[in-house]
Structures are given as C-alpha cells and as structure tokens.
Amino acid sequence: MSRNGWTSADAPDQSGRVAVVTGASAGLGLATTTVLAARGATVVMACRDVAKGERVAERIRAANEHADVRVVRLDLASLASVREAAAELRSAHPRIDLLINNAGVMAVPYQRTEDGFEVTLATNHLGHFALTGLLLERVLATAGSRIVTVSSNAHKRGAIRFDDLQSERGYDPEAAYAQSKLANLLFTAELETRLEGAAAGTIALAAHPGNVRTGLWRTSSRVERLVIGARLGKLTSWLAQDVQVGALPTLRAALDPSARGGDYFGPAGRFEYTGLPIRVEPSPAAREEGARRQLWDASEALTGVTYRLGAAAA
C-alpha cells in the first residue's frame, strides 16, 4: 500500500479468478470491472441492458487485448430475470471468486415491480439478496471467495419500515433509498454471521463510495447536480470525487488480502465524502441483530430464495 493509502495499484493479480459485477456497464460498476479485468480476472458484467453491456465490454477489450469480459442480462427488479441470470451463471461458471453487488437506483419516482415490490428496495436489496442466494453454491465452492455489497453514506439516515417495507402508506424517494442502503449493511452483517457459523471459506464485506459523480445523480435536484458536477470540481473537491476513486472502497473490500469478513470500507476524507478507502464504521442501526434477522426472514419470504448455508458449506 502506498504512503497515501490503498489504490488500484495495490490490487493483487486476479488471473484464474471469476468475478460477477452487477450494474457493470456504467459508473462504479464499470470502474470496478475495468480494474478487475486489468488484473487478469474473468469478469461477468451483469447488466439490465445487454446491448449497452456488449458495447462497453468491447471498449474494455479494445483498450486491453487480454481482458476477459462477458455479459449476462440481469434486471434486479425482476425475480424472474434474477433466476434466469443465476441459472446462466451457474451453468457457465463452476466457480465464482467474487460477487460484487453494485447495481442500484436512487431517488426514483414510486413504482411497483412485476413482483409487486417497491422498485428501490427491489433493485438495491431484494434482487441482490436473491442473486446471492442463488449463486451461493458456486461462491462457497471457491476457496477465498468474497461477497461485496455496495451501500451508501445515506444508510445513516435510513430506517427499516418492517410494517411498510414497500412504502404503500407513503413514499419518499430519499427515505426509500436510505432504507435500501441500510438493508445492504444489515444483509452483509447477517450473511457474514451465517458464513462464520457454517465455517465457510467465504467472507461477506461492504463498501460505500462516498459522493461520486455518476449517473445516479440524474434524478437529483438541479442544485445538487451542479454542486457535484465537474464544472465546480476544483471548488467542491472535498465534496465529490470521480468514479475511479469512488470504486476503490469496493475494490479494496474485494481484493485487499488484509480485509476481514464484516469489514466496511469507505473514503478517508471529511464526512467520508471523498478520499482513498479505509475501514469505516456503519451506523448503530446497521448492527442491530434483531433487525438483521427480521430483514433476512422477510427477504426470504418475499423472494422465495432460501439460503442453505450449512449444506452448501459442507
């Protein structure tokens, strides 16, 4: 690690390893995919828009002739799509070393998915919960594998509304996003506890990018977009950073040999908005054991995906 902190230059060789990255065709997912491919990993880009994913994959190959990147269609807001993608991945890859649950939506209008779920919770949490469970056998079969889920600083404002998970009695886009990002951390903590209990060779970690200039901000207010935009970059460098730096907490969680199960990585700077990745602390709400278990049970019931950790680990 450099004197200033962990960077992509510290990422070890990934030759022979398989990584699945959701939301890999843009933003943080694309930055993560690019580094993994450059380090020699076979990277499966799990994207909702396959045509866009193929165009991006071709650009990665053009820049790096040795890059091994592939595309699988995945719409996290559809359980049918999640099951189809998982089946394709299981068929094509007997091993999965890294599962990076990166894709997400933020501050979108109220919508219900085909499964009847509020779209933010469905995309950011339930879809990833189902995908992870459906790929778990392949991940557990791979020594040293990791499951990394991307959360957000917004989780600190979040609360899990167990009596109204789908926001049927009132919807606020920011509250829905904060709830989903808190769910990401509760899921990671409970998954790591269960992996430890099963004596699995897999660990679960989380990361957050700080404030990053990505397409997620397209639904934010004009003022917010202006403040974090490149035009004011020199004045607001402490407030928002480029996507390549924003992807580093995810990459460190996935690749740093010193990382441990349950670790949470985020930027080192002021308010964890910007900077190179360090271990950071989630909110107290993200550590509540009762909420972890309650969310897990609700997620299994809603998705129909049950984790068989004991049998898979054995």
What residues act catalytically?
177
For residue 280, give the nearest of 301, 259, 311, 254 by alpha carbon.
Answer: 259
Neighbours of 309 (CB within 10 A): 19
Q: Per the structure block, which two tokens stand in for 96? A: 């999965």
Strand 42-47 and strand 18-22: pairing?
parallel
Q: Per the structure block, which two tokens stand in for 191? A: 């998954």
Distance CA 300, CA 136 (A): 14
Distance CA 67, CA 22 (A): 18
Contact 122, 77 (CB under 8 A): yes
E-assigned strand segments in the chain: 18-22, 42-47, 68-73, 98-101, 146-150, 203-207, 264-267, 277-279
Distance CA 165, CA 180 (A): 10
Distance CA 180, CA 305 (A): 18
171 burial level (CB within 10 Å; 0-12, 13-18, 19+): middle
Q: Which run of H or E residues covers position 289?
A: helix 289-303
What is the sign, positive or negative, of the torsion defined by CA atoms of 221, 225, 226, 228?
A: positive
